[in-house]
């Protein structure tokens, strides 16, 4: 990462050492907003064509999944859904930068990242549909439950990365958070712990401009959120979060950097939440439609498509095949969500402790009796 630039060559040792932790002046970018190549030379190797094609597939599937999930809220199948529309490049690049054994720590918004990790969409949405708090097996998928209390999961990522490192494994952890979450104490504690213990963690801040209704200017007075690494002595990078090529290049490099034992990094992805905070939010109360329009013009999916077509890596036929694949995945998701999954009421008592306390045994017996009486009545 940027950290590797050894500025001590041009300055006396120990002079302003913080400088080597300062983020670069500009965000990494490969594609301009229309999807053409930018003039400037990017700082990292461009991902291979194969990976970009894979990224595109994940983005098409991810966007369709997101749209389907939003639709399911309207049908009352989901209590609520925080959309990822516009942030697919961030989430998918993050998921793709990991190896299967690495840990991912998503927030409530990072459903598309979970889908890109290969988790069944029905399981991902199970939390929001009210079945159980975490619908998938976090141990099997090396993906922690989607975290709602802001920034708290960043410490878990730090602990697990350190723990795995202690065991001599080259496992890393990737932790997501939003711009709002960077104000929480746990964000700062996590950066500090990770730095002190040299834990292999990539902190990905998806700066989508708002924490519910509060704009970034009310959240932080720092020049960028990437600057938040400086005080902790960790490297940082800024990236155009709507540029899929740049996102993948930076996340791949970040993963490589922390895996190599250099300690954590923080990556700030500049992006935008196209939809409201959740389906239950009214974004017109706090932002202009012109702003949204402007960001729609930087749509990550359209940019990647234009780039891939220009390079002959995508054509009408392969695009149509992909659309069809996404449609059938959406249909499958709809069907999966329309099945009423029966929750076992006794699960209420099963997972409080490894072994039930006498009190819980009593309460379970009470619930069983109540259920029995209920079914007798019906």
Ligand X SMILES: Cc1ncc(C[n+]2csc(CCOP(=O)(O)OP(=O)(O)O)c2C)c(N)n1
Q: List the catalytic residues.
A: 273, 277, 286
Per-residue binder mask for another protein (CB under 8 A), 165-194, x = binder: -xx-----x-----------xx--xx-xx-
- Looking at the Cβ atoms of 294 and 357, the one nearer to another protein is 357
Minimal distance, residue 51 CB to ligand X, in Å? 25
Minimal distance, residue 79 CB to another protein, in Å? 16
For β-strands 210-211 and 235-240, DSSP reports them as unpaired
For β-strands 210-211 and 214-215, DSSP reports them as antiparallel
- Looking at the Cβ atoms of 103 and 210, the one nearer to ligand X is 210
CB under 5 to 8 A by kind: which of ligand X, another protein, none does 54 bind? none
Phi/psi at 85 (5° precision): -55, 125
Rg, the chain, Cα only: 22
Place of tokens 């069944």: 120
- Looking at the Cβ atoms of 148 and 284, the one nearer to ligand X is 148
- Residue of 43, 109, 156, 298 interacting with ligand X (CB under 6 A): 109
CB atoms within 10 A of CB 349: 18
DSSP class of residue 103 equals E
Q: Is 231 in the site for another protein (CB under 8 A)?
A: no
Exposure of 157 in the CB half-sphere (CA atoms within 13 A): 36
Q: Is 143 in the site for another protein (CB under 8 A)?
A: no
Q: Is 179 in the site for ligand X (CB under 6 A)?
A: yes
104 in Cβ contact with 173 (< 8 Å)? yes
Minimal distance, residue 118 CB to another protein, in Å? 17
Q: Is 357 in the site for another protein (CB under 8 A)?
A: yes
Which window, 141-149, 219-227, 264-272, 274-282, contacts another protein (CB under 8 A)?
Answer: 141-149
Q: Is 104 in the site for another protein (CB under 8 A)?
A: no
Distance CA(11)–CA(249), nearest Å, equals 29
- Looking at the Cβ atoms of 68 and 182, the one nearer to another protein is 182
Q: Is 208 in the site for another protein (CB under 8 A)?
A: no
CB under 5 to 8 A by kind: which of another protein, ligand X, none does 178 bind? ligand X
- Looking at the Cβ atoms of 42 and 251, the one nearer to ligand X is 251
CB under 5 to 8 A by kind: which of another protein, ligand X, none does 342 bind? none
- Residue of 127, 211, 258, 301 interacting with ligand X (CB under 6 A): 211
Exposure of 326 in the CB half-sphere (CA atoms within 13 A): 20
DSSP class of residue 263 equals -
Place of tokens 């990539």: 202
Instruction: Specify the DSSP element, H or E, that contains 297.
Output: none
Residues 245 to 304 in contact with ligand X, rule: CB under 6 A = 273, 277
Q: Is 147 in the site for ligand X (CB under 6 A)?
A: no
Per the document, the length of the chain is 378
Residue 302 buriedness (CB in 10 A; 0-12 / 13-18 / 19+): middle
Angle 49-74/244-259 helices, nearest 10 degrees?
Answer: 110
Which window, 94-102, 113-121, 173-181, 345-353, contacts ligand X (CB under 6 A)?
Answer: 173-181
Q: Which long-range contacts (CB under 8 A, 24 or more apart) does 307-315 make?
A: 307/31, 307/35, 307/36, 307/37, 307/52, 307/245, 308/52, 308/53, 308/56, 310/35, 310/36, 311/49, 313/49, 313/52, 313/53, 314/53, 314/56
- Looking at the Cβ atoms of 51 and 188, the one nearer to another protein is 188
Minimal distance, residue 353 CB to another protein, in Å? 5
Q: Is 45 in the site for another protein (CB under 8 A)?
A: no
Minimal distance, residue 370 CB to another protein, in Å? 18
- Looking at the Cβ atoms of 37 and 134, the one nearer to another protein is 134
Interface residues with ligand X (CB under 6 A) are 109, 148-150, 177-181, 208, 210-212, 273, 277
């Amino acid at each position: 990462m940027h950290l590797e630039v050894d500025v001590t060559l041009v300055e006396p040792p120990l002079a302003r050492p913080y400088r080597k932790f300062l983020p670069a002046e500009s965000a990494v970018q490969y594609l301009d907003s229309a999807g053409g190549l930018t003039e400037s030379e990017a700082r990292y190797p461009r991902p291979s064509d194969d990976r970009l094609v894979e990224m595109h597939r994940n983005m098409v599937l991810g966007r369709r999944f997101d749209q389907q999930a939003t639709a399911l809220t309207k049908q009352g199948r989901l209590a609520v859904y925080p959309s990822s529309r516009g942030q697919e490049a961030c989430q998918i690049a993050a998921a793709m930068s990991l190896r299967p054994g690495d840990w991912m720590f998503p927030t409530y918004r990072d459903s598309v990242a979970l889908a890109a990790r290969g988790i069944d969409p029905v399981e991902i949405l199970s939390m929001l549909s009210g079945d159980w708090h975490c619908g998938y097996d976090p141990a099997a998928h090396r993906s922690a439950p989607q975290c709602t209390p802001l920034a708290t999961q960043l410490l878990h990522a730090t602990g697990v990365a350190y723990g795995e490192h202690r065991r001599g494994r080259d496992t890393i952890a990737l932790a997501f958070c939003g711009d709002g979450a960077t104000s929480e104490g746990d964000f700062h504690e996590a950066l500090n712990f990770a730095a002190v213990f040299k834990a292999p963690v990539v902190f990905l801040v998806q700066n989508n401009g708002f924490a519910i209704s509060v704009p970034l200017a009310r959240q932080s007075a720092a020049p960028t959120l990437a600057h938040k690494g400086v005080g902790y002595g960790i490297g940082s990078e800024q990236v155009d979060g709507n540029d899929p090529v740049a996102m993948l290049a930076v996340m791949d490099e970040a993963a490589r950097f922390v895996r190599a034992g250099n300690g954590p990094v923080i990556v700030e992805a500049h992006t935008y939440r196209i939809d409201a905070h959740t389906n239950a939010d009214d974004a017109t109360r706090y932002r202009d439609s012109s702003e949204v329009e402007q960001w729609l013009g930087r749509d990550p999916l359209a940019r990647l498509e234009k780039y891939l077509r220009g390079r002959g890596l995508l054509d009408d036929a392969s695009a149509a095949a992909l659309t069809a694949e996404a449609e059938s995945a959406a249909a499958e998701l709809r069907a999966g969500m329309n099945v009423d999954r029966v929750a076992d009421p006794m699960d209420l008592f099963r997972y409080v402790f490894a072994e039930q306390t006498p009190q819980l045994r009593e309460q379970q017996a009470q619930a069983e009796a109540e259920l029995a009486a209920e079914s007798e009545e019906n």
